Amino acid sequence: MPKDVPELLKGTLDLLILKTLESGPMHGYAIARSIEAATELALQIEEGSLYPALYRMTNRGLLQFEWGRSTGNRRIKSYRLTPKGRKRLEQEQANWGRFAQAVARVLGGQPA
């Protein structure tokens, strides 16, 4: 793992997970790969830390899970958004947009 990758901004992991699951149910590994692909390795994370986030979000009712079977007949746990999670995603996206705009305004003097 490259050492110069920036620390994932605190709180952004949750947002990334929500965004990733927007398109449909996924298991943990797929979520990790999807985040990796979408961020083009820029936000590469220690993959294990994904799971506490998933569990926490499940407990808060943002995600649901189900056990299914993989093609190799292994038990696979998939996650999907709950309606509450979907709503949270919209909120967070809007927040993030405002935040990014504000930061950009400070840094660049005008909206991006």
Partner 1 sequence: MSWATDSWMRLRSLLSRKERAAQIDDELSNHIDMLVRDLESAGVDPATARREARHRFGNVRAIRKELYRMEKKRVEHERRATYFDELRQDLRYGTRQLLRSPLFTAIVMATLAIGIGANTAVFSVFKGVFLDPLPYDQPDRLTYIFHGDTDGSCCGPLSGPDFLDLRRMTETFEDLAVISSGNTSITGDGDPAVVLGARISPSMFSLLGVQPVRGRSFVDDDELGDGRVAVLSDGLWRQRLGADPNIVGSSLELNGEPHTVIGVLPPGFSVPSPWYVNQMHDVYVPFDREEITQGRDSHWLLTLGRLEPGVTWETGDAELKSLSKSLEEKYPETNHKKTTYVFTMHDRLVGRVGTQLLLILSAAGFMLLIVCGNVASLLLSRATSRETEMAIRAAVGAGRTRIIRQLLSESILLSLLGGVAGVALAFWAMTLLRAVIPTDLPRVANIGIDGTVLGFALGISVLTGLVFGLAPALSASRSNLTESLKEGKGTPKSGSRRNVLRGALVAVQFALALVLANGAALMLRSYLGFRGMEQGFDPENVLTVNVTMQGERYDDIWARGDFLRQAIERIEAIPGVIAVGAKNRLPLRGGTNSQVWAEDDPERPPSGGPGPLVEFARVSGDYFEAMGVSLLAGRYLTANDSVAANPGTIINEEMGRRLWPGENPLGKRYSFRDDPPNWMTVVGVVEDVRQWGPYMTPRAEHYLPYTAPGWASARRMYLIVKTELDPLSLVGAVREAVIAVDKDQPISEIRTMEGVLSDQFAGQRFNTLLVGIFAAIALMLVTAGVYGVVSFYVAQNTHEIGVRMALGAGRGRVVGLTILRGLRLATVGGVVGVFGIFATTTVIRSLLFGASPVDIPTMIGGVLVLIGVALVASLVPAHRAASVSPVTALRSG
Q: Taking CB under 8 A as the rule, does residue 35 contact partner 1?
A: no
Applying CB under 8 A, which part among 5-13, 16-24, 75-83, 98-106 lies near partner 1? 75-83
Instruction: Check residue 51 for interaction with partner 1 (CB under 8 A).
Output: yes
Cα 108 from chain centroid?
27
Size of the site for partner 1 (CB under 8 A): 27
Under the criterion CB under 8 A, does residue 6 sit at the interface with partner 1? no
Q: What is each CA distance from 51 to 25, 80, 84, 102, in whole angstroms?
A: 15, 14, 19, 31
What's the min distance (Å) between Cβ of 48 and partner 1?
A: 4
Position 83 contacts partner 1 (CB under 8 A): no
Residue in the structure block whose two tokens are 């999670």:
85
Q: Which residues of 79-92 are buried (b: 16+ CB within 10 A; e: fewer)?
A: bebbeebeebbeeb
Residue 108 to residue 25: CA distance in whole angstroms: 38
Residues within the interface to partner 1 (CB under 8 A) = 1, 27-29, 32-33, 46-49, 51-52, 55-56, 58-59, 64-68, 70, 74-77, 80
